[in-house]
Amino acid sequence: MDDLTPKIIVENLDFFYDGKQALYQINIDIYPKQVTALIGPSGCGKSTFLRCLNRMNDTIPNTRLTGNVLLDGENIYSDSIDLAYLRQKVGMVFQKPNPFPKSVYDNVAYGPRRLGLTKTQKELNDLVEHCLNQVGLWDEVKDHLKESAFNLSLEQQQRLCISRVVAVKPEVILMDEPTSALDPISTMTLEELVSELKESYTIVIVTHNMEQAARVSEVTGLFWLGELIEFSQTERLFTLPAHELTEGYITGRMG
């Protein structure tokens, strides 16, 4: 697949909770190795849409989706899809760091062990080191690998969670407000990491922080009451919005 072919294509997506519609006719192309940001007020459908991209909403009772979500041309809502494989390819980083109640090492090693991605202990050790290096954490934790992940700072825990996702060799990383629990300096560190990760992964990030969207993304979409109001190059959306709602939101007059 080249960078001109969408990694994910969403077609006419509607989503319902308990019969109440939450998303309306979402159409969006997400391209590889770039950051797509989703902005909009609370409760507008951003996180619901994000969870549609790896079927995390399947865990919620009485939900229903119509339309298509194509990953590399394959409909992820097909009955033939292996959900474990899908969530390996499309990983999720949540709003608050959620390390496992295990050591730093075992947090990263858990997925590769379970999926049989390495054959020897040395391969696993090398993979753990590589993944921690990818998120800039190795030098900070290399002497504390056997200690609880809960001993890390919140920002370190979030980077650990990202390394845990990276360890199972995903192609897409979904991030649901990954810096909302962090202070400004830690937020900057995570944003720099996102910019580095897009060289290898397709990233979709939900954020309430419009400045963050402007800093980290190539493309931005505005959600409003379950609809995708505008979706365009980030610079264009923030400087020459095509929709009055978009202009109202980014200038603070609405939302």
For residue range 108-161, what is the model confidence (pLDDT) as tens digits? 999 999 999 999 999 999 999 999 999 999 999 999 999 999 999 999 999 999
Question: What is the domain count for the chain?
Answer: 1
Q: What is the mean pLDDT of the chain?
A: 94
Whole-number pLDDT of residue 228: 97
* 246-251 average pLDDT score: 91
Answer whether residue 235 is part of any domain.
Answer: yes
Tokens of 243: 């929709």
Answer whether residue 245 is part of any domain.
Answer: yes
Answer whether residue 106 is part of any domain.
Answer: no
Identify the domain containing residue 219 by its residue range. 8-95+168-250
Answer whether residue 149 is part of any domain.
Answer: no
Answer whether residue 69 is part of any domain.
Answer: yes
Answer whether residue 140 is part of any domain.
Answer: no
pLDDT digits (tens, 9 = 90+) for 7-31: 999 999 999 999 899 999 999 999 9
Answer whether residue 67 is part of any domain.
Answer: yes
Whole-number pLDDT of residue 237: 96
Whole-number pLDDT of residue 140: 96
**CA proximity to 118, closest of 168, 58, 158, 163:** 168
CATH code, domain carrying 206: 3.40.50.300
Answer whether residue 62 is part of any domain.
Answer: yes
